[in-house]
Amino acid sequence: MIDLHRAQQRKKVPQRWLIKDLGSLYFSAHEVPLTLRDRLRFMKRYSNKSLRDTIEQDATFWHKVEQRAQVLLEKWQRHTPK
């Protein structure tokens, strides 16, 4: 599924949108058994940097993405019938 609600031409997408969208993507895969290696591979490919540079330069960004996914998961768990 492609979300086009913010489809527009921009030179640079605001970081908060990237965090929201990547957090949503990560949340949507919460039932998939992603390994640490899978997550690191995605970060490297997405950032188009070496893994070392991605970890050193973008740690705060990826932490915010993970936090966003966690918030979505907690919200989903509260509203899911047990």
pTM above 0.85, yes or no: no
- pLDDT surpasses 80 at 1: no
Give the pLDDT score at 10: 77
Which residues fall within 8 angstroms of residue 12, CB to CB, at 6 or more apart? none
Distance CA 4, CA 21 (A): 11
Range of the domain at 28: 15-79
Cβ proximity of 17 and 6 under 8 Å: yes
In a domain, 67, yes or no: yes
Residue 4 in domain: no
Residue 8 lies in a domain: no
pLDDT, tens only, 12-59? 889 999 999 999 999 999 999 999 999 999 999 999 999 999 999 999
> Is residue 9 domain-resident?
no
pLDDT band at 4 (very low <50, low <70, confident <90, very high): low
Spatial contact of 62 and 18, defined as CB atoms under 8 Å apart: no
Place 3 in a pLDDT band, splitting at 50, 70 and 90.
low
Asked whether residue 5 is domain-assigned, the answer is: no
